[in-house]
Amino acid sequence: MDRNFIKLVIFTVILSTQSQSKIYKNNCVECHKLLPISLQEIFMSYLLVYGGENNFKAGLKHYLKNPSKSISVMSDLFKKSYKIKQKTKLSDKEIDNAINEYWDKFSMFKRLY
């Protein structure tokens, strides 16, 4: 294979990864840093409700696309104190990338093996 082609592929992968990380940082971390509960604590709440990785990701994606008090995993006190988020403007691919990064950041399952 041509060395320039390999360099181009590696460069493209690096840019793609950085772009995906920006979605999580700019949309999730930026908004949640103003709340009294951390993203890790919210992660644990979702994990308790939805269990495994697939259900967790599907439940969170559904909530981001259709936020409502009735499907929020947050406590009633939290929901009374803070309004429910606005419906996301991210594309499905951007949501999936952000949720995957969120899962990878806080999931302990990969660390157990």
Segment 44-69, tens digit of pLDDT: 999 999 988 999 999 999 999 999 99
pTM of the prediction? 0.74
CA distance 68 to 75: 13
Domain containing 74 equals 3-112
Half-sphere CA count of 113, side-chain side, radius 13 A = 3
Token pair recorded at residue 77: 């006190």
For the chain, the domain total comes to: 1
Q: Do the beta carbons of residue 61 and residue 96 sit within 8 Å?
A: yes
Sign (positive or negative) of CA dihedral 67, 48, 40, 109: negative
Token pair recorded at residue 78: 């939290």
